[in-house]
Chain A
Amino acid sequence: AQKITQTQPGMFVQEKEAVTLDCTYDTSDQSYGLFWYKQPSSGEMIFLIYQGSYDEQNATEGRYSLNFQKARKSANLVISASQLGDSAMYFCAMREGHTGNQFYFGTGTSLTVIP
């Protein structure tokens, strides 16, 4: 079974609008971490936001927020007030265990912001 599932290969959003990128995960661990990364065309992986499995509040970082629904095993990324520079690939990832090393990545969602 896939550890991380991103069902949206491509998404479009109007500039200044909000957009939600979906991510579901599969783990039997009680302790795990969820991450979102942005990958522009240059290829670098840019860390956006982190949610720990024991965090009771949804993580927020500026225009990024993570809608964490533990019972549904979903960790959707919400980008508010989209900007043209947000156009990129977005990857959801999970690390199992508090000290686990391996990251499991989803297949990514390509976001295009339309002016």
Chain B
Amino acid sequence: DAGITQSPRYKITETGRQVTLMCHQTWSHSYMFWYRQDLGHGLRLIYYSAAADITDKGEVPDGYVVSRSKTENFPLTLESATRSQTSVYFCASSESPTTSGRKGDTQYFGPGTRLTVL
């Protein structure tokens, strides 16, 4: 049971370059999320998706683009990386909130990608 995986685990890039972070889940969860983790801020939601081809902005979406052509994949793209986007990025997934027993309220996280923008 692979669960939720992220790649790469570590990435160093330069200002202005495009970077794509990958997220893959094997549970067929309908919901997927991207967070960034920064000291003093905890986790902040960047984008989320309720299903394939349905995405919406979170708290800090500027400078990021997402897509979800397949249920299991939710890539995050930094179109032109900036130093302020140096962070640890976490992908998460959950069942639908309409799932019985409120299983959909629990999000499950990937191992993270540490991104450094020079």
Q: Do A and B associate with each other?
A: no
Residues of B near any A CB (own CB < 8 A): none
Residues of A near any B CB (own CB < 8 A): none
